[in-house]
Homo-oligomer: A and B are copies of this chain.
Amino acid sequence: MDIKICSEAFDPWQEIQSHQHSVADIAGKFGATNIFIGTMRDFNEGDDVKGMTLEHYPGMTEKQLGKIVAEALQQWPVIDALVVHRVGDILPNEPIVLVAVWTSHRGDAFDASRYIMEALKSRAPFWKKELLESEVERWLVKNTDGYL
């Protein structure tokens, strides 16, 4: 299990591969991997967005993410999991969050990955401030249910 907070841009494929290679006993044992990547868009709520700053609460972020992953491990037979979250100044098209879950069977991989993402969205202390093309800065007020 690994939880990382990155203040620089990260490459999700590189992160997944190096994590997978770092887990010695995993080869041949997992049958399913589900991965979610959240990426910064260049528009939101009808406005062009040129950048974003992600603030977090150092310490609490890691603690809450650790709890969330532990909850997923209690509910599903998860072989391994990786969560990477970006903080600081972010540009459009850069990854914000990566969740990867390795399991034996596909249903568990989908369920656990989605659980971690939804819990992260509602409980992990991160806050986004958008910088619009118009130079206006605005804090996001709340996360959506995932369909808006």
A17 within 8 A of B: yes
Interface size, A (range):
35 or more
- Copies in the assembly, this chain: 2
Q: Which residues of A contact B (CB under 8 A)?
A: 13, 16-17, 27-43, 92-93, 104-110, 113-114, 117, 121, 144-148
Bound Cα distance A39, B105 (Å): 10
Bound Cα distance A33, B16 (Å): 14
User: In the bound complex, do residue B110 and residue A110 qualify as a contact, i.e. CB atoms below 8 Å apart?
Assistant: yes
Contacting residue for A146 out of B30, B105, B121, B148, CB 8 A = B105
Cβ of A117: which chain B residues have Cβ within 8 Å of it? 106, 110
User: In the bound complex, do residue B110 and residue A36 qualify as a contact, i.e. CB atoms below 8 Å apart?
Assistant: yes
